[in-house]
Amino acid sequence: MKTIDQLLAEGVAGKRVFVRADLNVPLDGTAITDDGRIRAVLPTVAKLAEAGARVVVASHLGRPKGAPDPAFSLAPAAARLGELLGTEVAFAADTVGDSARAVVAGLADGQVAVIENLRFNPGETSKDDAERAAFADQLASLADLYVGDGFGAVHRKHASVYDLPARLPHAAGYLIAGEVGVLKKLTEDAKRPYAVVLGGAKVSDKLGVIDHLLEKADRILIGGGMAYTFLKAQGHEVGASLLQEDQIPVVREYLERAGKKGVEFVLPVDVLVAAAFPDLKTKAPAHPTAVAVDAIPAGQMGLDIGPESRKLYASKLADTATVFWNGPMGVFEHPDYAEGTKAVAQALVDSPAFTVVGGGDSAAAVRTLGFDENAFGHISTGGGASLEYLEGKTLPGLAALED
């Protein structure tokens, strides 16, 4: 895989460089609530601009239906990128139309432009190879070189991620190179004890990574909504908590395999329960109750790990050498259910281990809860991509960057 430094050494001055970034930032109307992904691509964009390239930044945002939708415009992200770069960033109102062609043609050496949301064109996400290829051809006409730096999208077989690199000389940006380096540490050279913390809503989203990590990890700590399927598999009643009944046989099999392999599975010993899901808009007090996992009342749902579980999880992370964390321990968006996620984050901060926060909601939680990002070894920009890499899958966007 060619690096951006190799590309720069060959010379990029005066050349149009297409940077596939991940500017898929959360928005409240047109206000960006977390600019972490924009900051993550800054080193690549800034270095190319400094070297005299004419930089064309492209990304998706949200899930529009293959047609323009103002709610998913990249205009706010383009404006924020300009603020962070300290220079004006041009914005094209379409992806490959008149506006994009004009904006790119108007770039001078060292200038940067952002084109509109790639998913406004159905060819970006099409499962039809010919339709995707046609869109990739149009994108290729905007550039001379390609730099892949949208790690959060490399697990997608999309036109700008998979098809476009085949049409242009290509290299990996600083973000992707860094992400892959970290993930190789977790899969090929993890120092032990190696603990994995998994949370989030659905156990089905994490089955592949659990299966793969049973061969590599020393401890697996489970929280979030997915914990209740594990608790049910152990014979506990879980009330109205999130439950995937169809996954119970698989979960039981994983618990048995873990026992045979000497992998320690750590599940909550107590949880916070309430009769209803909290109001995340008003953040009205929810008044949850802490109960042992064998005493969850019928009709009540578990929404965070409890105080004893927080202590337990912190103790299980204290002596580790490597930790990978993906998924919150509860509904961290509400202050009454944020303490479990906060406890795990604090345990990673306090640990001498090499700590990796695996993107998605975990990365958002770290920032939302006020932690210093530099206190962690690495915060990934791609939750789904990180998990699929750890599952041992071939990621289309990374495969496309190989020479």
Tell me which residues are annotated as active site. 37, 202, 360, 384
CB atoms within 10 A of CB 82: 16
CB atoms within 10 A of CB 80: 18
Cα separation of 2 and 270, whole Å?
49
Cα separation of 309 and 314, whole Å?
8
Beta pairing, strands 354-357 & 322-326 = parallel
Cα separation of 221 and 313, whole Å?
7
- CA-based torsion, 327, 330, 331, 333: positive or negative: negative
Residue appearing with tokens 């730099």: 147
> Hey, what amino acid is at 224?
G
DSSP letters for 270-337: EEEEESS---TTT------EEEETT-PPTT-EEEEE-HHHHHHHHHHHHT-SEEEEES-SS-TTSGGG
Q: Cis peptide before 328, with omega less than 30 degrees from 0?
A: no
Closest CA to 330 of 303, 309, 368: 303
